[in-house]
Every structure is written in C-alpha cells, then in structure tokens.
Amino acid sequence: MRGFVFDGLQGNNEYIELIKLFLRPSEFSTDGAAGAEGAHRIDATDAAAAGDKNAVKRFLYDRLAALTGRSPAWGILTGIRPVKLFGELAGEAGSDEDVARARRRFRDEYYVSEAKTELTARVHALQRALTAPPETGSVGIYIGIPFCPTRCEYCSFPSNQVPYARVAGYLAALYREMDFVAEGLARKGLFAESLYIGGGTPTALNEADLDELLGRARRRFAGAKLAEFTVEAGRPDTITAEKLRVMRRHGADRVSINPQSMNDETLARIGRDHTAEDVRRAFRLAREAGVPRVNADLIAGLPGEDAADFERSLRAVLEFAPENVTIHALAVKRAARFKERDAEYGYARAETAAEMLRLAAAALAEAAYAPYYLYRQKQTVGNLENAGYARDGKLGLYNVRIMEERQTIVALGAGASSKLYVPSENRLTRAFNASNYEIYAERLDEMLERKRRLLFE
C-alpha cells in the first residue's frame, strides 16, 4: 500500500483519478495512513504549481511513471472530451500552425502519446471539415426510453426490466414532457437540429407504442431544419421488420444496432439475450427497410475474449457495411454488476483491450472508415477511449454536438440531463430528471419547472 498526501492543493479528485491510471485502488491510500509504504507528499511547492493543476498533474505523473514504469497513453488527461480540449488549444481559426501547436501541447504539456494525439487531431480535422458550427436557435433533442429486455452485466444506464403494463404510465408522463418542451421551443423561436431516441432500448417498446412515440416526436420536433433523426435499436432481439418500417415512416434516418460482440458465448456471459444470428437478421431487415445510415457498436475488453475474438467480431460486423462503427472500451462503473464481482477488472484487461483498439483502428482504416468522434469515461478498461468511425463522411451529428458542448441539448425522460449552452460565456447550465422511471412520472411537474427555469424563462 502506497500513501499519497496532498498539502495546500484544491480539487484533489483529479489527482486521485490520475493515480488510478498507474495503481489499483487497493494499492494506494490518500488518507495519510501511517502504515502506507513509501509516503508521497504532494504540495504546490514541490510541484512548482502556483495554482496550476496541470503542473501538479505532470509532477505526479512523473513520480508515478518512475515508480511503476508505466506511461498511460492519455497522459495527464482525466476529462472525457479530449477533442474539445484540442479544439480550444488550436483556436477558432485552426490554421495548420495552430493545429501543429495544439499537437505539441498535447504531447509536451499533457503527456499524451503520439498515437492518441494523432487520433485526436484526426477527429478534430474531420469534424471541422464535415460540420458547421450549430446554427443560432438550434438545439439537440434527446428522448430516453429506460427499458431493456435484460440487463447487461456492464450496464450503468437506466435499464429496467418490468412487466410491460408498467410502460404505459411512463409513456404518458413522457408525452406530457414532450408537449411541454415543444411548446416552450416554439415560444422561444428554437428548433431541433437533431433528434435522438435513446435508452435503455427504445425498440423494447411494442410496434404500436413505438409508432405512437416516434409519431409524436416527429410532429413535435421534426421541423424543416432537422438534420438527423436517430433511433437506438441496440438489442437485435427487439428488432422487427414492422418496427423498422415504423422508424422509416416517421423519418428516422439513422438506426443503431449494437452487437457488442459476435461471439455467442460472450453474449450469454454478459447477459445479452440474443445471438450473432440475431444481429445478422437485424442488419438484413434494416437494409430491406431502406435505413440510410446504420451504426454498430462493439466493446473491447469483454470478459473471456482475447484480441482474436474481438477481431473476428469486427470483421463480421464490417461485412454488413454499416455507415458508422463505434468501438467502446468496456467501462466497469459502480452501478454495473461487473463491479460487484471484480472491482479491479479493468486493470487486468488493459493490455488486451489496448490491442483490440489498435486492431480496430487498422481494420477500419483499411475499410475506408475515419474516426469522427471520441470520448473517454472513467473506469474504462486500461483508461482507454470510445471512438466512432464513419464511412463516406456519414457521421452521427448528435454525437459530435454532445461532445463539442457548444449547443443546447434538451433531454426528456427518466435519467435525462438537459444542458443550456450560453455562447457569450461558453458555459453550460444543467437540469436533471429523476433516474427512476416511476419517480420521474410521479414528480414530473417538478422536472417541468426545472426545464422552464433553465430553458424557457
């Protein structure tokens, strides 16, 4: 057990997160325990910090690298939006010289590896090339459906398995919120640029309820300037030809089908009640329905899988020729069942997951996919990233906007978080909905009032 003591420093959580990149939680203490081996005292004087958090983090990183012999690829970055930071370093103009300077600062000041710096720079360049800044008055709309047929072992999102009769009460509350938001947007002269139906699993709804939901969403939010309408159909076993026809009838032009793995043994192990054949059927139905853009998610670092297993899944998915492929590093968060069984799972799988991401980048580049967005989560295997890849420039606009944080996002449903963007101050103000779907329905008036104060006053 190694001890770390912080003197005269504020906001120590970031420093603790940095320590976790090098040492397992069971290997260190920050409470100044007398029994700790090799006490490390970190203060502003030692770090030559003078209030500069990054200087403290570089000092701490250097000590930890010397102690462990490790050099985490994302350097001292503990935030989830490296592309946003890169863009701020490159400046609004983003000239070649500005971008080169941002690259140097990523490497020299933030200790980011050459490979991750290059990935970030490529994502930033593609976003600048393919997306204009959000139009004044535009918002993104997110609508959450917090139900799934089963709960995945790694899941930390709102995901409820309930008798279907309980869904009706939730939808009634959701429709009230949709009406309230639509009326507020109209009064303020705001409009939806993107519409994203997520979850949970929206296709856990039956055909009739999905038809009603998407019809209401289209009527309330799909104006002339709507650029993208995404529906998550993440569980292939919930997809039917009729549900896909419903999506197309209401204008959905992007559908996410998420295998996570094409290995049946892995799927059973992680609690997904479908098979690789179900994935193949779902893609076939999506193409027959004429869905213009399909996204497929895969996860690196799943239990029992090695790099060869992951590569077979990726090759199988590429046979479907999805327009988007998203590669996630497995995140083992507090709310996940994995965390209960093995709190330090991510450390043991770090090198394997990193190899999986290297294989993915190479295979996707070979198949003419380019990385268009990326983000990072805490507690991912190996402290790695999630990256979305697009073919033929067909990126997911909502994904870009949510990571840029330069547009208001109006989020509806249980667990939703709305974010008001204030351009003059380049900041976000948030309002949250209750995570529990029953509490959400019972206390909806409170959440509507929060939205009114945040968005419509």
| Structure tokens belonging to residue 20 | 């976790």
pLDDT digits (tens, 9 = 90+) for 124-183: 999 999 999 999 999 999 999 999 988 777 776 667 788 999 999 999 999 999 999 999
> Amino acid letter at 192?
A
Whether 384 has a pLDDT exceeding 80, the answer reads yes
Could you tell me if 372 and 391 are in contact, meaning their C-beta atoms sit under 8 angstroms apart?
A: no
Tell whether the torsion through CA atoms of 335, 341, 346 and 352 is positive or negative. Answer: negative
Mean pLDDT, range 229-244, rounded to an integer:
96
Phi first, then psi: give them for residue 382, nearest 5 degrees. 70, 15
Backbone angles phi, psi at 164, to 5 degrees: -60, -25
Which residue type is seen at 286?
Answer: A
Tell whether the model's pLDDT for residue 36 goes beyond 70. Answer: no
Measuring CA to CA, how many Å separate 109 from each of 47, 54, 89, 95?
14, 8, 11, 20
pLDDT band per the 50, 70, 90 thresholds, residue 34: very low
Higher pLDDT: 8 or 357? It is: 357
Give 235's strand partners.
none
Please name which of 190, 217, 178, 86 lies closest in space to residue 136, comparing C-alpha atoms.
190
Domains assigned to the chain: 2-68 (no CATH), 82-130 (no CATH), 138-411 (3.80.30.20)
Task: Tell me which long-range contacts 213-219 makes (C-beta under 8 A, separation of at least 24).
Answer: 213/143, 213/145, 213/171, 213/174, 214/246, 214/247, 214/250, 214/252, 215/250, 216/175, 216/178, 217/141, 217/143, 217/178, 217/250, 218/250, 218/251
The pLDDT score that the predictor gives to residue 429 is 96
Output the CA–CA distances (angstroms, integers) from residue 63 to 53, 281, 377, in the order listed.
15, 52, 24
User: What's the mean pLDDT in 65-74?
Assistant: 94
User: What is the C-alpha to C-alpha distance for residues 114 and 123, in angstroms, rounded to an integer?
Assistant: 14
pTM of the model: 0.93
Q: Nearest CA to 198 among 257, 143, 141? A: 143
Q: How does residue 252 score in pLDDT terms, banded at 50, 70 and 90?
A: very high
pLDDT band of 39, cuts 50, 70, 90: low
Looking at the DSSP bridge assignments, the partners of residue 147 are 160
The tokens of 13 are what?
């959580």
Please report which confidence band the pLDDT of residue 364 belongs to, taking 50, 70 and 90 as the band edges: very high
Query: Could you report the per-residue pLDDT of 406-450, keeping only the tens digit for each?
Result: 999 999 999 999 999 999 999 999 999 999 999 999 999 999 999
Q: Where are the beta strands (DSSP E) in 343-384?
A: 369-376
Termini Cα distance of the chain: 53
Q: What is the pLDDT of residue 336?
A: 54
Does the pLDDT at position 35 exceed 80? no
Mean pLDDT of 353-361: 97
- How large is the average pLDDT for residues 202-223? 98
Tokens standing for residue 456 = 């419509």
**Distance in angstroms (rounded) separating the CA atoms of residues 38 and 35:** 9
Evaluate whether 315 touches 373 at the Cβ level (below 8 Å): no
Percent of the chain with pLDDT over 90: 75
Closest to 46 in 3D by CA, of 94, 85, 19, 7: 7
Average pLDDT of the chain, as a whole number: 91
DSSP assignment of 251-291: T--EEEEEEE-S-HHHHHHTT----HHHHHHHHHHHHHTT-
Q: Computed over its alpha carbons, how large is the radius of gyration of the chain?
A: 23
**Residue for token pair 């090339």:** 129
Kindly give the residue spans of alpha helices, DSSP state H, lying in 189-230. 207-221
281 C-beta neighbours (distance < 10 Å), count: 17
Residue 214 has pLDDT above 70, yes or no: yes
**What is each CA distance from 387 to 244, 324, 351, 390, in whole angstroms?**
26, 10, 18, 10
Q: What is the pLDDT of residue 1?
A: 76
- Asked if residues 441 and 146 have their Cβ atoms less than 8 Å apart, the reply is no
- Quote the longest CA-to-CA distance of the chain: 67
